[in-house]
Amino acid sequence: MGQSENEQARAQESRNRPEPGALPPGQRLQRGWPVLHYGPVPRFKPLTWEFQVFGATASGDKHSWDHEGFMTLPRAEVTSDLHCVTRFSMLGSRWGGVSTATVLELAPPAPEATHVMVWAEYGFSSNLRMEDFADASSLFATHRNGDPLTVEHGFPVRLVVPHLYAWKGPKWVRGVEYMTADRRGFWEERGYHNIGDPWAEQRYSYQEQPGEGPEL
């Protein structure tokens, strides 16, 4: 179960990315775990909750799991850091859940799919390049340090993409849309960088270079 440390190390090497546990430029260490999001905390409704994969799927069909189905998918663990663009970082959480690789394997995208939009409750969304979504450290987390997520932190499922700023990981995820072209998500439309690499301090959309995001 889970990802070996070797595999994690190799994934890091291949991206030439700093080790977990390091602080990106302009970030400070946070003790404890603040709650940060836009809008109200959604109530979990187990009977109607679904995790859907749709858009440019290989078969053209939509895939969906109910909560029980999602919780019985193969599980993985990743230890990683969370970097909020408001400058706090939380280092060294052990996230448990379903890796994005598992979702990609069970609900494969069409070959033309280049980006994903991850959708959460109340229409919150964030867009990712396929390679960032598919990264070996990207995980749909249900647990942190062995405990189920609290509702404020995204119960039942949040995305964690440790090599990007934390807004790229929606809490209360309900679906993934495979896309054949890039489109901006919620914060990416509202002044935040389309890619959001904390090591390059890609905080705001005005910093985007040509080709890093769709027209604003």
Classify each residue of 110-130 as buried b or exposed e, where b means 16 or more C-beta atoms within 10 Å of its C-beta: eeebebbbbbbbeebbbbbbb
By beta-carbon proximity to ligand MTE, the closer residue of 56 and 139 is 139
91 Cβ neighbours under 8 A, 6+ residues apart: 20, 21, 23, 29, 81
Residue whose structure tokens are 């030439």: 16
Least Å distance, CB 153 to Mo ion, is 13
The two structure tokens encoding residue 39: 């809008």
By beta-carbon proximity to ligand MTE, the closer residue of 104 and 141 is 141
Query: By CB under 5 A, which span of 25-33, 79-87, 153-161, 191-199 interacts with Mo ion?
Result: 79-87
- Residue 143 as a binder of ligand MTE (CB under 6 A): the answer is no
Residue 102 vs residues 48, 51, 88: alpha-carbon distances, Å: 23, 13, 30
Closest CA to 176 of 215, 211, 140: 140
Query: Are the C-beta atoms of residues 76 and 2 closer than 8 Å to each other?
Result: yes
Please select the residue that binds ligand MTE; options are 124, 133, 140, 178, rule is CB under 6 A: 124
Closest residue to Mo ion, based on beta-carbon distance: 84
Query: Are the C-beta atoms of residues 128 and 173 closer than 8 Å to each other?
Result: no
- Residue 23 as a binder of Mo ion (CB under 5 A): the answer is no
Per-residue contact string for residues 87-126; x = within reach of Mo ion by CB under 5 A: ----------------------------------------
- Residue 71 as a binder of ligand MTE (CB under 6 A): the answer is no
Please select the residue that binds Mo ion; options are 84, 130, 134, 151, rule is CB under 5 A: 84
By the criterion CB under 5 A, which residues form the site for Mo ion?
84, 166-167
By the criterion CB under 6 A, which residues form the site for ligand MTE?
33-38, 84, 120, 124, 153, 166-167, 169-172
